Structures are given as structure tokens and as C-alpha cells.
Structure 1
Amino acid sequence: MSTTEPAPPHGYTPAKDAYLKRLRRIEGQVRGISRMVEEDQYCIDVLTQVSAATKALHAVSLGLLEDHLGHCVTEAAQQSAASGDDTLIAEKIAEATAAIGRLVR
């Protein structure tokens, strides 16, 4: 008898600590940007830091999207294949498409 652990509830769960670490680093970057503005730092330097924080958030977003596709959408596809009902996979694909749309705006 083999015991298998249930799949994690979300695709990012196995990397949750890494995501939290990255988000805390980004949070520190944003606090630094606030300090720069408070201290009247040169605008281009502030913009450079805003760009770095934005890129870091995009990297987190892409990682989460990849995890969603690899876990949630894949699981929905397997369930749809097993049941013959494509409703679940269609919903997950629409959900991912909407998320991609929000990311590229």
C-alpha cells in the first residue's frame, strides 16, 4: 500500500518561502523609494528604483503564473480528461488568460 501526499492547494505552495522572501525584499525596495522621495533624491534615481521594483514584481507575477499553469491548469486538464467534461479546464484557461491580460496592461 503506497501513501501519497495530497497535492498542495496552490501551485506556488512548494515555493511559498521563496516567494515571501522575494516579496519582503520588494517591500524593502518600496520603502527605500519612499525614503528617496522624502529626502528629495534626484528624480532619475527614484525612477530607476521604481523600475527595479516593478521588474521584481513582474518576476514574482510570472513565477506565480507559471506555477498556476503547471499545477492548477494541469490538474484541471487531468480532471477534465477523466470526467469528459471540459468545463473546468475552460474555466482555468479563461482565468489564466485574464491574469495574463492584467499583467500585460
Structure 2
Amino acid sequence: WATKDSKFLNHEGYGIGDDEYSIAYDGCRQLIWYNASSFPHRHKCWKPGDVLGCLLDLNSEHIIFYLNGIPLEPCKHVFKNAKSGFFAAASFMSYQQCLFNFGR
């Protein structure tokens, strides 16, 4: 997730989770990224065909990431600085790809 205040500078390698206005799930390295710091998570390394779910709860101020329906603990990091203006966001390495599904 990111907000309108998030900085995204792909040519400098600055992506989602590299500032205080976004948070990222890294399924390859098994990390959550926030403010250019990483925190390990308990999901296994993702593989082709896996489904990543992302729940944003503005009332409770938490984000939950799911891998194939298995949830992680709620993340509250990004709400220290951001309260509104959220949108789904992703950043990838050149060889990575995904298909987004916004509710279908």
C-alpha cells in the first residue's frame, strides 16, 4: 500500500516500502518493508501461481497481508505517518510480474 505522499523513484531503486508513507510485502525475500527497513515474516517464499491478498482497514488502522489465504499479523507501521489517501501499489524487479485482481 502507498499514499499520495509516498515517493517512488524507480530509476534510483526507491520503491514501495522505502518511505514512511508506504508499506510493502516482499514474498521473495520474506520481508515486510516500511521506511526503508525490513522485518521478516513467517510466510514461505512465494512461487508462480500464489495469491497475495492485502487488506487495508482504515477504522482499525492496520494492514493484513495474506499468502494463499494465510494471514500475517496486522501491520500498523504506516499509520504512524499516514491516515488517508491510500491506494494499492507495487514495485518489482525487471524479471518479476503479476496479475492484479481488484475484487473479481
Higher helix share: 1
Is the TM value for this pair above 0.5? no
Q: TM-score, normalised by structure 2?
A: 0.20
Q: TM-score, normalised by structure 1?
A: 0.20
